Amino acid sequence: MIDPFVLLQNEGCLSDAAQQSLIHAYQERGEKAIRAAERGNVKKYRDFWVVVGRTAEYIVENGFCTCDDFLYRGGICWHSLAVRIASICDLYEEYDLWYSETRSRTIEIEKT
């Protein structure tokens, strides 16, 4: 079986074959990752990649994710897959900001 990410690069971003390969390899996680990338839920900041999930934003960096699925089950989560897809297909919003600083400001605002 060919690596779905190689297929993604070679076939064109999110072609039917690439999508089916991702879903075959990663099942529901692959489906969620594709949807997140297509919907623009992946953001690239100066310091981190961030994926907007249903209930929170998750930081993805160097194969690590802050979601419970990654932290408790291990392995790859759909947020990490979404970042890989978005980075290959240029399906992300890029911010010339430090995510860590935007979170600090948000917390300060929430406290007031």
> What local confidence, expressed as pLDDT, does residue 74 receive?
85
Q: CB–CB of 102/43 below 8 Å?
A: no
DSSP 8-state assignment for residue 70: I
Three-class SS of residue 82? helix
Span 78-94, mean pLDDT? Answer: 97
Please give the sequence-ordered ranges of beta strands (E in DSSP) within 2-90, or none if there are none: 42-44, 49-52, 57-61, 64-65
- The pairing of strands 93-94 and 42-44 is parallel
pTM: predicted TM-score of the whole model, two decimal places: 0.87
Q: For residue 105, what pLDDT band results from cuts at 50, 70 and 90? A: low
> So where are the chain's domains?
4-111
**pLDDT tens digits, one per residue of 33-77:** 999 999 999 999 999 999 999 999 999 999 899 999 999 998 899
The backbone torsions φ and ψ at residue 15, rounded to the nearest 5 degrees and listed phi first, read: -65, 165
Query: What is the pLDDT, as a whole number, of residue 110?
Result: 45
